[in-house]
Amino acid sequence: MTSERPLDGDTLDASTAPDSAPASAVATAPPAVVDRPAPGGMGGQGQAGRARRTTSFLSLARAMFLGFRRDRAGLFFTLLFPLVFLIIFGGLFNNTGTYKQSVLEVGSVPLIDQLPADARAELGQVFKITKVTDRAAALDKVRNGDDEAVIEQVGDRIVMHYSAADATGAATVQGVMTSLIQNANVDATGQPPKFSLDSDSVEDKSLSYIQYITPGLLGYAIAIGATFGATSTLVTWRQKKILRRLTLSPVGVPTVIGARIVVSMGIALIQTAIFLAVGAGFFGLKLSHYWWMSIPLIFAGTLSFMSIGLLAGAKAKSMEAASAIANLITIPMAFLSGSFFPLDGAPGWLQGLAKVFPLRHLNTGMLDVMVRGKSPVSVLPEIGILLAFAVVLSTIAALMFRWDDI
Partner 1 sequence: MAQTIRVDGVRKWYGDTHAVDGVSFDVEEGEFFGILGPNGAGKTTLLEIMEGLRKPDDGEVSLLGMRPWPRNPRLLPRIGVQLQASSFFERLTAREQIRTFASLYGTPPAAADHWLEVVGLTDKADTRTEKLSGGQAQRLSIACALVHGPDVVFLDEPTAALDPQARRNLWDLLREINNQGRTVVLTTHHMDEAELLCDRVAIMDHGNILKSGPPAALVRGLDAPTRIGIETGTVPVDGARQLFPDAEVSDDGVSLTVSTRNPAAVLSALADRNALRGLAVRGASLEDVFLDLTGREYRA
Q: Is residue 289 a contact point for partner 1 (CB under 8 A)?
A: no
Q: Is residue 164 a contact point for partner 1 (CB under 8 A)?
A: no
Q: Which is nearer to partner 1, 31 or 116 (CB)?
A: 31
Q: Is residue 66 a contact point for partner 1 (CB under 8 A)?
A: yes
Half-sphere exposure of 201 (CA within 13 A, CB side): 6
Q: Is residue 178 a contact point for partner 1 (CB under 8 A)?
A: no
Q: Is residue 2 a contact point for partner 1 (CB under 8 A)?
A: yes
Provide the 8-state DSSP code for 96. G
Q: Which is nearer to partner 1, 242 or 295 (CB)?
A: 242
- Cα 290 → chain centroid: 17
Residues 68-127 touching partner 1, rule: CB under 8 A, are 70-71
Nearest approach, Cβ of 84 to partner 1 (angstroms)?
24
Nearest approach, Cβ of 226 to partner 1 (angstroms)?
18
Q: Is residue 247 a contact point for partner 1 (CB under 8 A)?
A: yes
Nearest approach, Cβ of 283 to partner 1 (angstroms)?
34
Q: SS3 of 63, please? A: helix
Give the Cα separation of 151 and 138 in Å (integer): 10
Q: Which is nearer to partner 1, 252 or 342 (CB)?
A: 252
What order of strands is seen across the sheet that includes strand 101-106? 127-132, 101-106, 149-154, 157-162
Q: Are strands 157-162 and 127-132 parallel, antiparallel or unpaired?
A: unpaired
Q: Which is nearer to partner 1, 12 or 164 (CB)?
A: 12
Nearest approach, Cβ of 81 to partner 1 (angstroms)?
20
| In contact, 360 and 371? CB cutoff 8 Å | no
Give the Cα separation of 217 and 334 in Å (integer): 9
Q: Which is nearer to partner 1, 238 or 360 (CB)?
A: 238
Nearest approach, Cβ of 328 to partner 1 (angstroms)?
24
Partners of 101 in the beta sheet? 127
Q: Is residue 398 a contact point for partner 1 (CB under 8 A)?
A: no
Q: Is residue 36 a contact point for partner 1 (CB under 8 A)?
A: yes
Q: Is residue 342 a contact point for partner 1 (CB under 8 A)?
A: no
Q: Is residue 59 a contact point for partner 1 (CB under 8 A)?
A: yes
Q: Is residue 248 a contact point for partner 1 (CB under 8 A)?
A: yes
Q: At what angle do helices 209-239 and 253-283 cross, to 10 degrees?
A: 150
Long-range contacts of 65-72 (CB under 8 A, 24+ apart): 65/263, 65/266, 65/267, 67/233, 68/229, 68/263, 68/267, 71/232
| In contact, 60 and 67? CB cutoff 8 Å | no
| In contact, 389 and 358? CB cutoff 8 Å | yes
Give the Cα separation of 80 and 74 in Å (integer): 10
Q: Is residue 63 a contact point for partner 1 (CB under 8 A)?
A: yes
Candidates 11, 21, 120, 289; binder of partner 1 (CB under 8 A) is 21
Q: SS3 of 105, please? A: strand
Nearest approach, Cβ of 239 to partner 1 (angstroms)?
10
Nearest to 250 by CA among 110, 73, 48: 48
Candidates 11, 13, 47, 51; binder of partner 1 (CB under 8 A) is 51
Nearest to 104 by CA among 124, 125, 130: 130
Q: Which is nearer to partner 1, 241 or 289 (CB)?
A: 241
Nearest approach, Cβ of 55 to partner 1 (angstroms)?
5
Q: Is residue 39 a contact point for partner 1 (CB under 8 A)?
A: yes
Nearest to 182 by CA among 194, 171, 166: 194
Q: Is residue 236 a contact point for partner 1 (CB under 8 A)?
A: yes
Q: Is residue 11 a contact point for partner 1 (CB under 8 A)?
A: no
Give the Cα separation of 392 and 317 in Å (integer): 23
Q: Is residue 46 a contact point for partner 1 (CB under 8 A)?
A: no
Give the Cα separation of 159 and 261 in Å (integer): 68
Q: Is residue 55 a contact point for partner 1 (CB under 8 A)?
A: yes
User: Site size for partner 1, by CB under 8 A?
Assistant: 62
Footprint of partner 1 on this chain (CB under 8 A)?
1-2, 4-9, 12, 15-16, 18-19, 21-22, 24-26, 28-37, 39-40, 42-44, 48, 51-52, 55-56, 58-60, 62-63, 66-67, 70-71, 236-237, 240-242, 244-252, 406
